[in-house]
Structure 1
């Protein structure tokens, strides 16, 4: 499998600061932040599945526009995989005819442009020999991470989370883990804010990494454009067995 970083920033306002979105091979998107908007129409048409970690805007901003762009050009619905709680939020607050049309009913409910597919924590989807499993995380809204398994290797994306023992257990249960994409939204001087908003900061990230039993490459996402250098410097100063690196837009990870 190949994961291409379309966006991994915790905000906008700097060069290459597209928000969270990853293209897997050419037909799956993990989260649908603003990075999806850089894809040409031909690439958008190849996307059949979108896996959403949670409903915060930086992770779903391009989803309504993606469906509007490709809906009438596709022969089958675009499938959005998310927890039942996240689907309820998307239906109530985005695809509600007030913010955006309900594309699960356009052109009609028997042949819509959009199909929601509920996925529960711990549940897997098998798509052409690739397995994607929802993992437990701890955020301010219902959320999951995802483990992507090619059969030859695995990649875990935490989505948005604070320290979460259940996530650590799930990561340690991945025997072929090659890559871990994990967030660090705030520097350590904002640790209280990180805890309140259920994000990670360098010290909390180091606590997570210290409990990992494997040796995957660690890629740090969700850095704020104005504080990325400071946060990464604090992560680097923290030492530890695993040496995280900043994830970059355009980066390609294979596993």
Structure 2
């Protein structure tokens, strides 16, 4: 199994900052942020499933454009998987004919370019030699994380979350956890903002990682572009023994 980071930033800018999206092999996306826009049309057309963590724009920005671009090139609908509250937001506020066409009805209700599938925390979707498990998360809107399991181990992704004991209970129950991708959006000087926006800062991250029972490689995602250096410096000072690394675009996990 191969997971390629298409985007992992908390913002955009220049040639290297893209918002959240992970490409699993060549047919599954975890989130559909601006990093998806770097894929070729042929690569976009090979994607059959999109697993969305939550409804914020930095995680769904390319979903409407992607389905508009490749819908007619596909022989079956693109399946968008997410929680019921997030599905409702996508239906009501994105694919609503005002912001964007409803591709669950195009070219017809019987043969649409896109379909929605509801997920609940704890669900595990079998994808042949891979499986996607839904993890709990806590954010300003209903949100989930995901664990991607293949023959060589498991990668867990927090999505956007604040302090969440249930997330760690679920992560600690995963078999053969190899990699953990967890968000830290703000430096400690903005702790109040992190708490208000239900993200993490380094000090909060340190408390959360005390709950991790696996020996896994830890990668930091969702850093705010103007604060990346200070946030990673604080993480290194606070969590040096765990050696967390900054996730970067085009990082590839092979396992």
The alignment's TM-score, normalised by the length of structure 2, stands at: 0.98
Partner SS state of residue 145, structure 1: strand
- 1:7 corresponds to: 7
- 2:70 corresponds to: 70
In the TM superposition, 1:11-50 aligns within 5 A as 11-50=11-50
In the TM superposition, 1:154-169 aligns within 5 A as 154-169=154-169
Change (3 A) 1:190 1:14: farther
Q: CA RMSD in A?
A: 0.9
In the TM superposition, 1:9-158 aligns within 5 A as 9-158=9-158
Partner SS state of residue 72, structure 2: helix
Partner SS state of residue 129, structure 1: coil
Q: Distance in 2 between matches of 1:85 and 1:124?
A: 18
Q: Distance in 2 between matches of 1:83 and 1:20?
A: 18
Contact map agreement 1:206 1:240 (CA 8 A) in 2: no
How far is the alpha carbon of 1:254 from its aligned partner? Answer: 1.9
- 1:211 corresponds to: 211
How far is the alpha carbon of 1:151 from its aligned partner? Answer: 3.2
Number of residue pairs aligned between Structure 1 and Structure 2: 255
Partner SS state of residue 161, structure 1: coil
1:208-246 superposed Cα distances (whole Å, 9 cap, x missing partner): 111111110000000011000000000000035422100
- 1:172 corresponds to: 172
1:24-65 superposed Cα distances (whole Å, 9 cap, x missing partner): 000000000000000001101110000000010000000000
- 1:201 corresponds to: 201
Q: Distance in 2 between matches of 1:183 and 1:254?
A: 21
Q: Distance in 1 between matches of 2:75 and 2:182?
A: 35
1:60-108 superposed Cα distances (whole Å, 9 cap, x missing partner): 0000000000101111000000001100000000000000000000011
Q: Distance in 2 between matches of 1:192 and 1:177?
A: 32
How far is the alpha carbon of 1:111 from its aligned partner? Answer: 0.5
| Structure 2 portions without partners, runs of 5+ | none
- 1:247 corresponds to: 247
Moved more, 240-249 or 145-154: 240-249
The alignment's TM-score, normalised by the length of structure 1, stands at: 0.98
Contact map agreement 1:209 1:242 (CA 8 A) in 2: no
Q: Distance in 1 between matches of 2:202 and 2:73?
A: 45
1:122-148 superposed Cα distances (whole Å, 9 cap, x missing partner): 101111221101100100101100010
